[in-house]
Amino acid sequence: MLPVDFDDLTAEDVSRHFGRRRALSRISFQTHKGSILGLLGPNGAGKSTMLAVLATLLRPSSGAVRYGTHTPGASGAALRSRIGVLGHDLFLYPELTAHENLVFFAGLYGAPDPRQAANAALQRAGLADRAHDPVSSFSRGMRQRVALERALIHGPRLVLLDEPFTGLDDASTAALVSRLQGLRDGDAIVVLATHDLDLAEGLLDSALFLRDGRVAEAVARPDSLRSTYRSIMRRSP
């Protein structure tokens, strides 16, 4: 497997249908390394579907996603090794300990020393003292921290996050925001789907408002996200 890398992510007229239902309709955008793009919109707007397409889990019905010059069809596994996903579900085995979960995923992503990678990840998550406790005994916030480290354990270029602030207390939210800012400083491309506009406002470098699977508005420098959101929602579909 030849390593791949990319500096930008481009969606070109991406549509995705599920039978007769159109989940995404002609979505286009581009984002670059060292930036955080927000996918904003109400439930059912197509945010999670867009993330699944970017994660190569779903193929677009039409249009294409380009990772620099690479496409999922041609680069497959090599491309997946540069993508990290934190879904709404946390992708953790509740019966395993935090350490075992991270060692497993580090091994799956080909880390040369999975145990060391897991230990370092647990330090970053501030959970080194709970390393050998089963994930099922963790609070939602602690699970979220482990899940984020799972998504980042292989140092991905593209980080995809689906509603990462759900169920977090203030301290966990602040830690997550700081981690995301660190990823931006480390030249990652971060795409974040959320409907928490207050949290998104200070964090995003650009935002894409989705409604009914379409781009309602693209904002280059998001400030007053809430008023933009309200005006979009007031428009007739």
Q: Which residues contact 14 (CB under 8 A, 6 or more apart)?
A: 24, 26, 27, 28, 50, 53, 60, 62, 63, 64, 65
Min dist CB 100 to other proteins, Å, is 7
Task: For residues 215 and 82, give the distance between their C-alpha atoms in angstroms, rounded to a whole number.
Answer: 26
Task: For residues 212 and 129, give the distance between their C-alpha atoms in angstroms, rounded to a whole number.
Answer: 44
Binding residue count for other proteins, defined by CB under 8 A: 30
Task: Out of 35, 42, 104, 179, point to the residue binding other proteins (CB under 8 A).
Answer: 104
Task: For residues 166 and 24, give the distance between their C-alpha atoms in angstroms, rounded to a whole number.
Answer: 23
Task: Out of 110, 155, 167, 182, point to the residue binding other proteins (CB under 8 A).
Answer: 110
Contact region with other proteins (CB under 8 A), list: 7-15, 55-63, 167-175, 208-216: 55-63
> Is residue 15 involved in binding other proteins (CB under 8 A)?
no
Min dist CB 132 to other proteins, Å, is 13
Asked if residues 216 and 41 have their Cβ atoms less than 8 Å apart, the reply is: yes
Rg of the chain over CA atoms, in angstroms?
18
Which 139-198 residues touch other proteins, going by CB under 8 A?
Answer: 150
- Binding residues (CB under 8 A) for other proteins: these are 1, 55-59, 77-78, 80-81, 83, 85, 87, 89-96, 100, 104-105, 107-110, 134, 150
